[in-house]
Amino acid sequence: MTLSIWRYAHLTLAIVSSLFLLILSITGVILAVDAVNEKIPAYRVDNFNSINLAQSLPALRKVYPEITELSVDHNQFVILDATDEEGKNIKAYIDPHNGKILGPVKPKSAFIQWNLALHRSLFLHEAGRIIIGITSFLLLLISISGIILITKRQQGLRHFFAKINRDFFAQYFHVAGGRLLLIPILALALTGTHLFLVRIEIIKQTEQKIKQAPSTEELPLKKLSEFSIFQQTKLAEVSKIEFPFMEDDPEEFFVLKLKDREISVNQLTGAIVEETRYPFTVILEKLSLDIHTGRTNALWAIILGFASLNILAFIYTGFVITFKRSRTKIKNKFNHQNAEIVLLVGSENGSTLFFANQIHQQLLAAGKRSYLTEMNKFGHYPSLQHLLVFTSTYGLGTAPTNATHFEELLHSFSPSQAVQFAVVGFGSKAYPDFCAYAKHVDQLLQQYSWASRYLDMFMVNDKSVDEFVKWVHAWSEKSLIALATAPALYSTKIAGLKKLKVVEKTLVSETNSTFKIVLKPESKTAFQSGDLLAIYPANDNRERFYSIAQNNNSIQLIVKLHPQGLGSGYLYELSPNQTLQARIVSNSSFHFPEKATAVAMIANGTGIAPFLGMIMNNHTHTPIHVYAGFRQKNEQTIQYQEFAQDQIAKKHLKTFEIAYSREATPQYVMDLIRRDCQFFTDLLENNGVIMICGSLAMHKDVEIVLDQLCFERNNKNISHYIAQNQILTDCY
């Protein structure tokens, strides 16, 4: 049976029974609390399990001349219904050793009786009992289907209690709680169903009566303490004892109702007159009642109370999971006919879709014809150039629910044009089939002549944002399509919006298209130079990101005003004292290094923005060397040079080098690096750090130059220094 059938069965059963399960859970919690409370105060005496009837009954007869009934409840409290020497009727908990009254027998409160009636029959008598019984059976089916789903999710019974791959709290609680309370919930469902079947007599009970043959000899009279059946029977085995109505009447008997049988005993001789053995179904019914109510054990009652409480939580979290899945709607600006980049998603709980959607939104913002859809909806894409597959693995290396038909669709709708593909797998290394389905898809695509590999398959463990960002960086660098590489951007935990006030803003000119804007948070906010500011210029949840310079607890941005640019145009239209809503995204991988011997900062255009803040806040006087590239000399670059001279005088900055690409003698930052090659290779060998911020094209060219220099002079590839966190980048 496929995973989707089990999932739909689980959901359908939950929907059908949810109202009645809600009632049963609430009343179940109340009754569980009552089951614990009724054990306080404790009327169970010491050595209860060792005392027999031959010891107890004669002692009670001495104190109470007339006894109607003695019973032992599920708490093993002894209850006596008798008349004392003064003729008073007594119904109380007593000490079976000596008849001492321990406490009064109090009836259950009206509130508990009301809950009990609601729990058993919904106040609908026989019809209500049938509804409750069917609900218990549905809970049993829900539990079984839940076990199957967890087993498939955890990739087999061997990993049933292994680490849970957490997507969101409701999903985590639903699975973790289900595993933790599996036994008590199954016990509630199974015993509830069994009690229902007994009550409607589907499970029938047949008693077996054994009459003792009358003795041909007259038996001698005996004292109660001499009755062999009383000597053999422990009080702990007794449910109830009915005393003879008239003493000395041979036709009046002691009736002993034990756990497994009922015995009539001659009150004069102690002979067994009749014995009725209860059928196994009666014993099983009592056991089911004990397990279902927790009435015999306080700890079990507490566990059942938590199980009932968690059924309420399961109902809530189950519907949250369903809502999240149904709410996850894919919005596409372009249709499949003109899409040049298609993102296919295989996602079981929506987390993989979240990662893919973050990339999709950025591609749209970059003006690319991006199209996002499920793998099961793969079709004909006549304009397709890039195919990006983001998929998780479910069960024992199988496809998630929305990717089960991908292979046959791929065969049916193979593109006629050449397409470059990249596969990103999501999974957990805790399982042996880590990213198994993603590997299968990667190998499958490789078999088609129209598909050529753009990047090697990439695997993300436990939805690691840091690992996913590595793929983003690699794909962005190769495609030269700007994608954000700040890990916080791919986290589902989005911080609240902050209110920022415009403090200062410069203007653009004919020779300078960049402007500076300074924003002041209206509430206390922690941030550093190198963090990102996310703004929402169209109020449509589509974010635009800008690198932050921290300047006297204010946010300073350097922005290039693009013609019809949504984000830059929005910021440029702001005036001093106006406010905007934005959020600050921590970009810890691009903060100023604390222990570097020296820092070289390489930037072009507005990439210099975060470096300005880092320089101003360089209170440790770490040697900083700036290499900046601009198109031409203008009032903006003159201001940068003036700023540099001031910071050099304060010992916040060591050197400031500028390359102009559109002046009489064109020069790029790569030329400056080659010129100072000895400086850069020595810097890296002496635990220095290089920071790069700006365009992806510049970043790619700089890394090529650095890789060549490092190999020639240090006999090491640039990857060595990247792994040592000596080369930090934030490019777009």
Contact present, 103 and 42 (Cβ < 8 Å): no
Per the CB < 8 A criterion, the answer to whether 94 and 78 are in contact is yes
The arithmetic mean of pLDDT across residues 196-202, rounded, is 82
pLDDT of 601 over the 90 cut:
yes
Query: What's the confidence (pLDDT) of residue 153?
Result: 60
Q: What is the pLDDT of residues 6-18, one digit of tens each?
A: 666 676 777 777 8
pLDDT score at 157:
60
Nearest one of 6, 318, 10 to 152, comparing CA atoms:
6
Q: What is the pLDDT confidence band of residue 349, given thresholds at 50, 70 and 90?
A: low
User: What does the alpha-carbon distance between residue 387 and residue 495 come to, in Å, rounded to a whole number?
Assistant: 32
Q: What pLDDT band is residue 717 in, cutting at 50, 70 and 90?
A: very high
201 vs 26, which has greater pLDDT?
A: 26
Distance of CA 567 to the CA centre of its chain: 35
- Output the pLDDT for position 634: 92
pLDDT confidence band for 210 (50 / 70 / 90): low
Q: Check: CB of residue 584 under 8 Å from CB of residue 531.
A: yes
Give the Cα separation of 481 and 490 in Å (integer). 17
Q: How confident is the model at residue 3 (pLDDT cuts 50, 70, 90)?
A: very low
Q: How far apart are CA 374 and CA 393, in angstroms?
A: 14
Residue 68's alpha-carbon distances to 71, 109, 198, 202, 697, in angstroms, are 10, 25, 30, 35, 99
Residue 513 has pLDDT above 50, yes or no: yes
Select from 524, 481, 488, 475 the least CA-distant residue to 368.
Answer: 481
DSSP 215-228: PSSPPPP--GGG-H
SS3 491: coil
Residue type, 637: T
First and final C-alpha spacing in the chain: 47
Tens of pLDDT along 658-686? 999 999 899 999 999 999 999 999 999 99
480: left (phi over 0), alpha (psi -120 to 50) or beta: left
pLDDT of residue 209: 63
The pair of structure tokens assigned to 498 is 């902050």
Q: Is the pLDDT of residue 268 over 70?
A: yes
- d(CA 559, CA 601) in angstroms, rounded, equals 19
**pTM score, whole prediction:** 0.52
Quote the CA–CA distance of 139 and 142 in Å, as a whole number: 5
Using N-to-C axis directions, what is the helix angle for 298-327 and 3-37, rounded to 10°? 150
Q: Does residue 597 or residue 488 have the better pLDDT?
A: 597
> In this structure, what token pair is assigned to residue 91?
């119904």
Which pLDDT band, with edges at 50, 70 and 90, does 475 fall under? very high
Confidence of residue 140 (pLDDT cuts 50, 70, 90): confident
pLDDT reported for residue 60 = 95
pLDDT of residue 648: 96
Buried-exposed string 406-428: b where 16+ CB fall within 10 A, e elsewhere:
beebbeeeebeeebbbbbbbbbb
Predicted pLDDT of residue 216: 44
Supply 32's token pair.
């569980």
Q: State the Cα–Cα distance between residues 365 and 723, nearest whole angstrom.
A: 31
At residue 1 the predicted structure's pLDDT band, cuts being 50, 70 and 90, is very low
Q: What is the pLDDT of residues 433-463, one digit of tens each?
A: 789 999 999 999 999 999 999 999 999 988 8
Task: Please name the residue ranges forming H helices in 563-690.
Answer: 566-573, 609-616, 635-649, 669-675, 677-685
pLDDT tens for 21-57 read 889 889 989 988 988 888 887 898 988 999 999 999 9
Band of the pLDDT at 492, cuts 50, 70, 90?
low
pLDDT tens across 48-70, in order? 999 999 999 999 999 999 999 99
Q: Residue 720: pLDDT above 60?
A: yes
Strands (E), 350-470: 370-374, 386-392, 419-427, 451-453, 458-461
Q: What percent of the chain has pLDDT over 70?
A: 90
Query: Per residue in 531-589, pLDDT tens?
Result: 999 888 876 566 788 999 998 899 999 999 988 888 899 999 999 999 998 988 888 88
| DSSP-assigned letter for residue 508 | -
Domains present along the chain, CATH in parentheses: 3-39+110-204+287-322 (no CATH), 49-96+220-277 (no CATH), 342-483 (3.40.50.360), 484-591 (2.40.30.10), 594-732 (3.40.50.80)
Nearest to residue 232, comparing CAs of 383, 52, 415? 52
> Band of the pLDDT at 493, cuts 50, 70, 90?
low
pLDDT at 323 over 90: no
The DSSP bridge partners found for residue 49 are none
pLDDT number for residue 174: 72
The answer to whether residue 156 scores a pLDDT higher than 70 is no
Q: What percent of the chain has pLDDT over 90?
A: 52
Q: Is 700 helix (H, G, I), strand (E, B) or coil?
A: helix
Categorize the per-residue pLDDT at 164 as very low, low, confident or very high, splitting at 50, 70 and 90: low
Q: What mean pLDDT value characterizes the chain? A: 87
Mean per-residue pLDDT, 406-415: 90
pLDDT of 248 > 60? The answer is: yes
Bond prior to 41 in cis (omega within 30° of 0) = yes
